């Protein structure tokens, strides 16, 4: 059993240690477009002057991504915070497997290909079409298509989910054109490789945490039945939808079906193979379940053809979803949550639906369920089902209410929570809404501060990555790009590469909190929040955890 050693210099506060994660809220590089800096946030400003404060890396190699050109995201961010170390994540694992050739020598890949070549059927690929490297990368898709042809596949169909969230908001045609060029090159020697269907990622298929199964139902009809608006090409569909609504961003584009002579070209048939090429799990699990669950009760799938199905990775190690996968996920062990409950620390984790899995599943190293049913409580606040820019305050107040009740009841020694606002509203590119989202979070932080002070607890405020801090697209000269149609700055909807804040506030002063030598000597990453939490609770962090931000006692 992994237990923590008690600290020789500090027994922990009388009240709880509270970790508040302000999702998508970083420290901006540019004044223009930094809607964190420009927001009214008196509590952030007060903490910056009166609490222990530093910045933490939250992107690239600091969270297990292939390079420092790669943005962080909520999945890898919460993995890093929860496990206290940096593991190579999905993007890096898939990239390495493809480059080494191990990917195509794996049992699952060979099974998917042999099924198609044996029966002369279709090989389907479905996933997010972009180079955002958060859920997927177009390079991985093209590499698989090229290898499939080498191995004798004659017909391949790609079902594209359009991004505009981890990449510029109206960049879909860049990736569609890149894919179409690759497909054209492969469609020789009696081969037929083509895009078969698609739609915006927030319209179909990529639901998460069972927030809206209707998205998956709509995707099932579009991708696998070929039941939907027909177009001769993906470009034609996107151009038509943009002509109808010029300001629409890619994630919200309606679905479409590619047809020839009035018939969909990508409907699913017996003995086809389907590969879901997203490596990130939260928005992939429900599609896996639609293929694999028996019985399946979320919607009527109709007559489901007998097919082979595989995911890029195992998205849930506890439920073994999907049953077949192409690359093994990172083996994350000895997370902070496991150490804490094994040491008798009781825990509350809470957020709204959009980020509930991040403070539970991802925080616990991609592990479903609790480590200890008696010592852990997980409380989910149901998210609203409407565009986030229409309600930018989201459920921050309700999350705060849960935490305040828990602090007053003195029920938990460690509380972790996530405010989704900066990230989810930041992805909309709606500037007024983003400002309100940041101010909402700051207002709630102020409420937490009062409760933590009254309970003689300690508050940690940080983030998993940036977003709202970098809302304007820039050209190669770092000049703000202007949208010709509106004359306004062109919105950026992806995460930033900026560091995130870390405030540690001990209102009683008894912990004698100060920046650690490690934090003073170099810039730490958000993985250091685990050792920081453990130290503030009165324990010594495991020796291989990344250094604590603070010293105490």
Give the rounded distance of the alpha carbon of 307 from its chain centre.
29
Break the chain down into helix, strand, coil percent, rounded to 5.
35, 20, 45
**Complete edge-to-edge strand list for the sheet that includes strand 458-462:** 52-56, 500-505, 458-462, 17-22, 414-419, 347-352, 376-381
Site of tokens 């506890």: 318
Task: Work out the angle between the directed axes of helices 234-244 and 172-186 (0-180°, nearest 10).
Answer: 160
Whether the CA torsion 191, 128, 277, 103 is positive or negative: it is positive
Give the rounded distance of the alpha carbon of 199 from its chain centre.
19
Structure tokens at 385: 């089902």
Tell me, what DSSP letter sits at residue 386? S
Q: Say what the alpha-carbon torsion angle 250, 276, 463, 520 is, to the nearest 10 degrees.
A: -120
Active site residue ranges: 74
Q: Are 178 and 163 in contact (CB under 8 A)?
A: no
Tell me, what DSSP letter sits at residue 119? H
Alpha-carbon span 190 to 55, nearest angstrom: 56
Buried b (16+ CB within 10 A) or exposed e, 471-486: bbbbeeeeeeeeeeee
Label residue 295 exposed, middle or buried (CB < 10 Å: 0-12, 13-18, 19+): exposed
Alpha-carbon span 520 to 550, nearest angstrom: 10
Q: Are 43 and 516 in contact (CB under 8 A)?
A: no
Backbone angles phi, psi at 78, to 5 degrees: -75, -30
Alpha-carbon span 27 to 29, nearest angstrom: 7
Alpha-carbon span 76 to 541, nearest angstrom: 21
Q: List 257's β-bridge partners, or say none.
A: 197, 230
Q: By C-alpha distance, which of 158, 143, 251, 149 is closest to 207?
A: 251
Structure tokens at 397: 């107040």
Q: By C-alpha distance, which of 148, 129, 149 is closest to 139?
A: 129
Rg (the chain; Cα; Å): 24
Alpha-carbon span 389 to 213, nearest angstrom: 21
Task: State whether residue 431 is helix, strand or coil.
Answer: helix
């Amino acid at each position: 059993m992994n237990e923590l050693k008690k600290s020789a210099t500090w027994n922990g506060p009388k009240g709880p240690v509270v970790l508040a994660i302000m999702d998508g809220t970083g420290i901006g590089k540019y004044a223009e477009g930094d809607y964190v800096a420009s927001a009214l946030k008196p509590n952030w400003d007060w903490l910056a002057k009166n609490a222990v404060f530093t910045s933490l890396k939250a992107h690239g190699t600091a969270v297990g991504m292939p390079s420092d050109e790669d943005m962080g995201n909520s999945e890898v961010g919460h993995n890093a915070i929860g496990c206290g170390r940096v593991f190579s994540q999905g993007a890096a694992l898939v990239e390495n497997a493809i480059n080494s050739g191990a990917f195509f020598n794996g049992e699952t890949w060979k099974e998917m290909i042999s099924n198609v070549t044996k029966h002369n059927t279709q090989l389907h690929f479905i996933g997010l079409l972009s180079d955002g490297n958060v859920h997927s990368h177009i390079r991985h898709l093209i590499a698989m298509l090229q290898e499939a042809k080498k191995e004798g596949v004659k017909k391949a169909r790609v079902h594209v989910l359009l991004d505009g969230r981890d990449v510029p908001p109206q960049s879909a045609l860049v990736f569609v054109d890149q894919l179409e060029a690759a497909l054209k090159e492969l469609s020789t020697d009696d081969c037929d490789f083509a895009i078969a269907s698609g739609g915006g990622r927030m319209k179909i298929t990529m639901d998460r945490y069972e927030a809206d199964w209707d998205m998956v139902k709509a995707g099932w009809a579009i991708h696998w039945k070929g039941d939907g608006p027909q177009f001769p090409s993906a470009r034609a569909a996107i151009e038509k939808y943009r002509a109808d609504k010029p300001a629409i961003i890619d994630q919200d584009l309606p679905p479409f079906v590619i047809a020839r002579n009035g018939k969909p070209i990508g409907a699913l048939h017996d003995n086809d193979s389907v590969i879901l090429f997203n490596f990130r799990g939260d928005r992939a699990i429900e599609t896996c379940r639609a293929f694999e669950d028996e019985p399946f009760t979320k919607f009527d799938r109709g007559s489901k053809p007998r097919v082979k199905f595989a995911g890029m990775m195992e998205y849930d190690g506890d439920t073994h979803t999907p049953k077949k996968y192409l690359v093994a996920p990172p083996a994350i062990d000895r997370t902070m949550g496991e150490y804490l409950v094994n040491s008798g620390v009781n825990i509350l984790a809470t957020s709204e639906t959009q980020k509930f899995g991040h403070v539970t599943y991802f925080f616990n190293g991609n592990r479903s369920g609790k480590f200890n049913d008696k010592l852990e409580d997980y409380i989910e606040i149901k998210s609203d089902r409407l565009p986030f820019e229409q309600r930018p305050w989201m459920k921050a107040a309700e999350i705060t209410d849960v935490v305040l009740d828990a602090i007053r009841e003195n029920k938990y020694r460690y509380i972790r929570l996530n405010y989704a606002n900066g990230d989810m509203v930041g992805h909309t590119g709606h500037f007024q809404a983003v400002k309100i989202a940041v101010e909402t979070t700051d207002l709630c932080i102020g409420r937490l501060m009062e409760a933590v002070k009254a309970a003689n607890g300690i508050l940690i405020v940080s983030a998993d990555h940036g977003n709202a801090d970098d809302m304007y697209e820039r050209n190669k000269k770092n000049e703000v790009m202007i949208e010709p149609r509106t004359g306004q700055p062109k919105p950026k909807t992806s995460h930033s590469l900026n560091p995130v804040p870390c405030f540690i506030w001990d209102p009683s002063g008894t912990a004698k909190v100060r920046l650690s030598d490690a934090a003073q000597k170099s810039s730490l990453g958000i993985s250091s929040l685990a050792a920081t939490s453990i130290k503030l609770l009165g324990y010594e962090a495991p020796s291989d955890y990344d250094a604590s931000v603070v010293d105490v006692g």
